[in-house]
Structure 1
Amino acid sequence: MSSDWTPSEMGSQAGNTVVVTGANSGIGFEATAAFAAAGAHVVMACRSTDRGRNAKREIEQEYPGASLTVHELDLGDLDSVERFADWYRAEYDALNVLANNAGVMAIPRSETADGFETQFGVNHLGHAALTAYLLPVLRRTNGEARVVTQSSGVHERGRIDFDDLQSEHDYDKWDAYARSKLANVLFAYELDRRLRAAGASVTSVACHPGYAATNLQLRGPEAEGSRLRVLAMKAANVLVAQSAEQGAWPLLYAATEPDIDGGEYVGPTGLFDMRGHPGTQQSSDRSYSEDTARRLWTVSEELTGVSFDLPEP
């Protein structure tokens, strides 16, 4: 379903509290600025608090009344995820939107502090654990709360290989990225099904930004030391991509649009679903496999040691 929606239609977010992971740059930064401009209090969950504070100052210069808090969150370290959640639960009684946005893309194989392949560990497992820890706050929030999980159109090439989830036997950086992004969609849909089964006033939505010009595309080539690929990515960002600001529109739409029921997939509805105004659309056939989603849910709880207090659908 297409639309001509822009953030000007978000309406007031005054009184709402939002957590945005990866809030210091790219889409996370733009989403944070938009939420703050609409009156929300935004917790900027950042791996680097120095970069987070710099981003906070930049937003405050543009929106002097912005209500922002920066706190450390390293999604590649489950101890850091737990510390962030403990801090949040001690400081806040409500959470209207959890934006699981941060991520890494197409990097050489490495491992998180807990021994997970980094793309799967950061993009999926870290966010799954964070969501589980914050779910009690989401559930006690007055009115409807939402969990929005950022995926990618690349999820369409993803496959969940339960025999090699950590890509220990066969690693391709793009296959690993696609797997992590497919896991994001499977997780978002399964979370929504379980929330419905629990009768919770929390909904779960997946989204993707299309092709947006951010630093995310540069990290893989930079990690490989490929100056040529860095230059190619920069050129593509200039010639093909939409802005990071527009790339944040699907996340903002998924988080605030009243017609979103949960269990939906939001992305740009323009050229090849890479740019344009946000709307609901179909994700890959594999993303709708409830059997795969249930198995991934169980394995994710086992790997992280963090469990959701939710019934099976």
Structure 2
Amino acid sequence: MYTVPDQTGHTVVVTGANSGTGREAAKRLAAAGAHVILAVRNPDKGADALAEVLATRTDAQAEVRLLDLADLASVRAFADGLTGDLDHLDTLVNNAGVMVPPQRYATADGHELQWGTNFLGPFALTNLLLPLLLAAPAPRVATMTSGVANRGSIDFDDLDWERRPYRAWAAYGQSKLADLHLARHLAHLAAGRGWALVSTAAHPGFTRTNLQVTGPSMGKERQVRWSPGSLLPSMDAPEGAGSILLAAADPGAPSGAYYGPRFGLVGEPRPARLNRRMRDDATAGRLWSAAEEITSTAVPAR
């Protein structure tokens, strides 16, 4: 497994830290000495995760704060709270997400659930926390995407899937391609403005977490069960978190880098391939502008 370098003195936000790769990332960052803020939607699950994170070492530092990425008011409240309590933030790990609900659901702001939760929420959070990040000596933003982004496309005429028949996997792919554009365009902005900020992206391959259960189970009386008998090779969360941890903490990770498992679905983290659509800087810039308007957020003027 990837070994997290020393994080002593760093303050790190991990979204979706109550389970899966987020919980594993929070544990290992805290074990490496970071003060970890577990950003979670469910306080009870957050408390359970916090106990496990604090058990990583006797002097572990961690806390839980509530954040619902499917509600832009919650995103603003979370960012305002941090801004009032911290003088800087070293690292933001945009990890939380939702995957393939059985039908089109909407966020509190009326956006398609995967688009709102996986992209618009993290986008707004990143912009709102940039002043705190830029106050740190070597700030980083690591954003979790997915291998499904390889098949994703951005439909600017129907970002919220209101005009087309809803296709959950296609909507998921769009949201995760957008996450990759977020990471790469932020790296571009940082370079152009002379910021020390490093923006990276990662995907977890095929990692077994509750992501495969929670989304597909929405609206169903019985929870959809993950089948351990899948024919595809897969990993557990400790291995699957390697890519996002490398992206978030490795001192050698350059801005704009993209990481994933060596063999696509499984393996040690390493640089991942970017296809043509992932490298489309014009689309990334257009998407950034659209998201600024939708979320009413923007990068700092300086």
Q: Which segment is superposed worse, 145-154 or 276-285?
A: 276-285
1:298 aligns with 2:292: no
SS at match of 2:228: helix
Please give the secondary structure, in 1, of the residue aligned with 2:143: strand
Shift of 1:53: 0.9
User: What letter matches 1:288 in structure 2?
Assistant: R
Cα distance change of structure 1 residues 237 and 96 upon mapping to structure 2, 3 Å threshold: farther
Structure 2 letter corresponding to 1:188: A
Q: Does 1:187 align with 2:200?
A: no
Aligned equivalent of 2:62: 68
Of 255, 261, 264, the residue aligned with 2:257 is 264
**Cα displacement (A) at 1:307:** 1.3
Q: Look up the SS of the partner of 2:278 in the other structure.
A: helix
Shift of 1:224: 5.3
Q: Deviations over 1:117-144 (max 9, x none)?
A: 01000100000000000001111102x1
What runs of 5+ residues in structure 2 fail to find an aligned partner?
Answer: none
Aligned to 2:16: 22
1:194, 1:310 within 8 Å by CA — same for their partners in 2?
no
Kindly provide the amino acid, as one letter, of the partner of residue 257 in structure 1.
D
Q: Deviations over 1:136-174 (max 9, x none)?
A: 1111102x1110000000001111000000001221000
Name the residue aligned to 1:155: 149
Shift of 1:48: 1.0
Partner of 1:130: 125
1:266-293 deviation digits (Å, cap 9, x = unpaired): 01113xx111111112122101111101
Q: Is residue 218–residue 234 contact of structure 1 (8 Å, CA) maintained in 2?
A: no
Asked if 1:279 is matched to 2:270, the reply is yes
Please give the per-residue CA displacement for 1:91-135, whole angstroms capped at 9, x wherever unaligned: 111211100000000012111011110100010000000000000
| 2-structure distance, mates of 1:310, 1:158 | 31
- The answer to whether the Cα contact below 8 Å between 1:150 and 1:184 also exists between their aligned partners in 2 is yes
In structure 2, what is the Cα distance between the partners aligned to 1:85 and 1:299?
21
Unaligned ranges ≥5, structure 1: 1-5
Secondary structure of 1:164 counterpart:
coil
Written as runs of structure 1 = structure 2, the 5 A alignment for 1:212-291 is 212-223=207-218, 225=220, 230-231=224-225, 233-236=226-229, 240-270=233-263, 273-291=264-282
Where is the helix percentage greater, Structure 1 or Structure 2?
A: 1
Secondary structure in 2 matching 1:205: strand
Q: State the TM-score, normalized to the length of structure 2.
A: 0.95
Offset, 1:62: 4.2
Match for residue 3 of structure 1?
none
Distance 1:75 1:238 in 2: 33
Q: What's the C-alpha RMSD, in Å, of the aligned pairs?
A: 1.7
Q: Distance in 2 between matches of 1:87 and 1:220?
A: 29
Matching residue's letter, 2:204: P
Q: What is the deviation of 1:49?
A: 1.6
| Count of paired positions | 300
Which amino acid is 1:17 matched to? T
Cα drift, residue 190 of structure 1: 0.6
Tell me which residue corresponds to 1:46: 40
In structure 2, C-alpha distance between the alignment counterparts of 1:73 and 1:54, rounded to whole Å = 16
